[in-house]
């Protein structure tokens, strides 16, 4: 006499935990990227049209000297100041 175990009935695919682990990882990444895109779109940075921020007009005096440490200093002066700092 052989002792055989009764076979368990086969479960549907959606009852298997491994299926949800395989589907859940990529699905969570897609949901997170959509959420990030929505946040980025709703809180978009405004365009600032301020003459101080870089627009040059004909009447602007381009010969004035600026402090190289100033946040609005021209890039070449700031780069040169970083390479050879002056006191």
Q: Which parts of the chain register pLDDT below 70?
A: 1-3, 47-87
- Report the alpha-carbon angle 46-50-54, nearest 5: 105
pTM to 2 decimals?
A: 0.44
What percent of the chain stands above pLDDT 90?
Answer: 33
Range of the domain at 25: 14-45
Is position 64 within any domain?
A: no
Is position 19 within any domain?
A: yes
Is position 79 within any domain?
A: no
Count other Cβ atoms within 10 Å, centred on residue 29: 10
Is position 53 within any domain?
A: no
Is position 20 within any domain?
A: yes
State how many domains the chain has: 1
- Give me the residue label for tokens 């897609």: 30
What tokens does 38 get? Answer: 């929505």
Instruction: Write out pLDDT tens, residues 14-36.
Output: 999 999 999 999 999 999 999 99
Per DSSP, the three-state class of 33 is helix
């Amino acid at each position: 006499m052989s002792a055989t175990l009764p076979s368990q009935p086969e479960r549907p695919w959606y009852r298997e935990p491994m299926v949800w682990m395989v589907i859940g990882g990529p699905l969570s990444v897609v949901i997170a990227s959509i959420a990030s895109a929505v946040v980025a779109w709703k809180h978009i940075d405004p365009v600032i049209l301020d003459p101080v921020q870089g627009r040059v007009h004909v009447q602007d005096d381009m010969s004035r000297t600026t402090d190289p440490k100033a946040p609005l200093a021209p890039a070449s002066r700031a780069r040169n100041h970083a390479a050879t700092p002056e006191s």
